[in-house]
Amino acid sequence: DTEVTQTPKHLVMGMTNKKSLKCEQHMGHRAMYWYKQKAKKPPELMFVYSYEKLSINESVPSRFSPECPNSSLLNLHLHALQPEDSALYLCASSQDGTGRGNTEAFFGQGTRLTVV
């Protein structure tokens, strides 16, 4: 099983809403990642969790709040987003627990987020 599962697939939210994106993997991977991807652009790294601890925050605004409840789950809590935050949000995982990406990265199918 090389699957990373993201829910929901699509999300429309107002600028005053609070919502959460969820990501799950059962491959025993110890590093998990959140990426943001705008149309026709490559993914941009947002956060890296290594052994359930936040190891990299790429200067992401505080309206995005990651959480890693356990080694299989990764959440991204959203609050007071702006229309420019509309994008495809991708979760990934890799076996290497250092979060350095030395091993193969597996991606989920993404959550298409629209902020209105």
Partner 1 sequence: KQEVTQIPAALSVPEGENLVLNCSFTDSAIYNLQWFRQDPGKGLTSLLLIQSSQREQTSGRLNASLDKSSGRSTLYIAASQPGDSATYLCAVNSNYQLIWGAGTKLIIKP
Residues 58-87 that bind partner 1 (CB under 8 A): none
Nearer to partner 1, 18 or 51 (CB): 51
For position 114 contacting partner 1 by CB under 8 A, the verdict is no
Tell me which residue has tokens 């605004």.
Answer: 61
Tokens standing for residue 31? 């590093």
Q: What are phi and psi of 68, to 5 degrees?
A: -125, 90
Q: How far is the CB of 57 from partner 1 (least distance, A)?
A: 13
Q: Is 53 in the site for partner 1 (CB under 8 A)?
A: no
Does position 112 interact with partner 1 (CB under 8 A)? The reply is yes
Q: Does 109 bind partner 1 (CB under 8 A)?
A: yes
Using rule CB under 8 A, residue 97 touches partner 1: no
- Candidates 13, 45, 60, 80; binder of partner 1 (CB under 8 A) is 45
Strand partners, 13: 115
Q: Name the residues that contact partner 1, by CB under 8 A.
A: 2, 4, 6, 41-43, 45, 56, 88, 90, 92, 98-110, 112
